[in-house]
Amino acid sequence: MPSSRSVPGKGINADAFPAVLLAAQSGASWACTNLWVDHAPAVTAFLRARGSYEPEDLTSEVFLAVFDQLDRFRGGEAEFRTFVFTIAYRRLVDELRKRSKRGHDVEWSDELDARRSPSAEHEAIENLTDASARAVLDGLPPDQRNVMVLRIVADLTVEQVAEILGKRPGAVKALQRRALQTLRKKFSAGRTPTAASGDSRE
């Protein structure tokens, strides 16, 4: 069995993932740590970008649920990422619902924005480094906002986002396309991509 134990905290490559997952399912703490290190930063960034009041604490809750259900998980690395973000999305929805009942607002800080933008298509968000980034996202309809944050921050494919949100891939693509059209209208032509086809995963 290939070993990832010699390089804890360095991320999990595709070849090593099955062994790390099996070890984690068997209760190996080093393997659970590797899964945490490899996925927790993106989960925290996603939760923060979607307005979680305490994204680090919520990330901990997400992974407590992940590890609690780990013995029932079946699949590869892509399926595991979908599994993690499905739990994260559901926990976020619960938090936002509870907060709406309490009427509690969270102030945005651009210094805490840990979003990642892996493709040219996402420059419209990547180039905003001030408080307007959150305002622009919050200006989108909820479905469009969820799609954009899962695609940009969580770096998920259209198919993965569709599974998490319970939508068809075609519907996710349509929501993404409309969101990008809205965002482009808010930015100068020189700061935004000219087409949405830059993402090869679509």
Structure tokens of 174?
């349509």
- The predicted pLDDT at position 173 comes to 97
Q: 195: burial class by Cβ within 10 Å (0-12, 13-18, 19+)? A: exposed
At 117 the pLDDT is 43
Query: Taking the chain, what is the end-to-end CA distance rounded to the nearest angstrom?
Result: 34
| E strands, 21-127, in order | none
pLDDT of residue 130: 40
CA angle 21, 22, 26 (to 5 degrees): 115
d(CA 16, CA 144): 35
Sign of the alpha-carbon dihedral angle for 201, 119, 190, 146 = positive
Q: What percent of the chain has pLDDT over 70?
A: 70
Q: Give me the phi and psi of 165, to 5 degrees please.
A: -90, -5
Interval 145-195: pLDDT, tens: 999 999 988 889 999 999 999 999 999 999 999 999 988 887 654 454 444
Higher-pLDDT residue of 100, 154? 154
Q: Give the closest residue to 50 by CA, choosing from 165, 163, 162, 195.
A: 165
pLDDT at 3 over 70: no
Instruction: State the pLDDT at residue 57.
Output: 96
Higher-confidence position of 6 and 98 = 98
Question: Structure pTM?
Answer: 0.72
pLDDT in tens, 27-60: 999 999 999 999 999 999 999 888 888 999 999 9
Average pLDDT of 79-83? 96
Using DSSP's 3-state secondary structure scheme, residue 145 falls into helix
Looking at residue 134, its pLDDT comes to 64
pLDDT of residue 11: 59
